[in-house]
Amino acid sequence: MGLYDFSATLNDGKEKKLSAYKGKVLLIVNTASKCGFTPQYKGLQELYAKYKDRGFELLAFPCDQFGHQEPGDDDEIKQFCEMNYGVEFPLFSKIEVNGDRAHPLYKFLKGEKSGLLGDSIKWNFTKFLVDKQGNVIERYAPMTPPRTIAADIDKQLAK
């Protein structure tokens, strides 16, 4: 199975096939509204605004598995992101990224690029960069500022 074989539920309840993103460079991030890294939403939105017209998509997957830092429901999460950070990129429904109930997409991503803790996601705002063919090419730690990923995005978009 490859990335494009998965689908996920958008924040509005609609199912989205990831095959819709074929040919695009993706940054997939698990997010939270009450996390020390939450201000990264600003940097993520800046990346999205800079690259969206060049074949880039940013996919955010809210997750409440780390210190109960995403307690809101889908509507609350969307309102928070739009009001505080002007988020325009796709927000998906809240998921789990670790454990038996981890979303299949995240099981795939972790299998493709493990991190410091092996397959587990360490914390919110772990980021995966995916090339235009759906290959997971890089995994970034939660503390990696979004702006530092710009050069890697540029490189992938140029291919």
Q: Does some domain include residue 21?
A: no
- 67-119: per-residue pLDDT in tens? 999 999 999 999 999 999 999 999 999 999 999 999 999 999 998 876 555 67
145: in domain? yes
CB–CB of 90/82 below 8 Å?
no
Residue 35 known to be catalytic: yes
In the three-class reduction of DSSP (H, G, I as helix; E, B as strand; rest coil), residue 71 is classed as coil
4 within some domain: no
CATH code, domain with 151: 3.40.30.10
CA distance 23 to 31: 24
Q: How many structural domains is the chain composed of?
A: 1
Residue 117 lies in a domain: yes
Rounded to two decimals, the pTM is 0.95
Domain contains 104: yes
In a domain, 138, yes or no: yes
Across residues 23-38, what is the average pLDDT?
95
What pLDDT digit, counting tens, does each position of 33-72 carry?
A: 999 889 999 999 999 999 999 999 999 999 999 999 999 9
State the pLDDT at residue 78. Answer: 95
Lookup: tokens for 81: 């992101």
Residue 12: inside a domain, yes or no?
A: no
User: Residues 3, 130: contact at Cβ < 8 Å?
Assistant: yes
Domain that holds residue 102: 28-158
- 90: tokens are 């796709």
Pick left, alpha or beta for residue 68 (phi over 0 → left; psi -120 to 50 → alpha; otherwise beta). left
Q: Which of 35, 59, 63, 81 is catalytic?
A: 35
- Cα–Cα distances in Å, from 143 out to 5, 19, 20, 76, 123? 29, 29, 29, 25, 9
> Could you tell me if residue 53 is inside a domain?
yes
3 has which bridge partners?
Answer: none
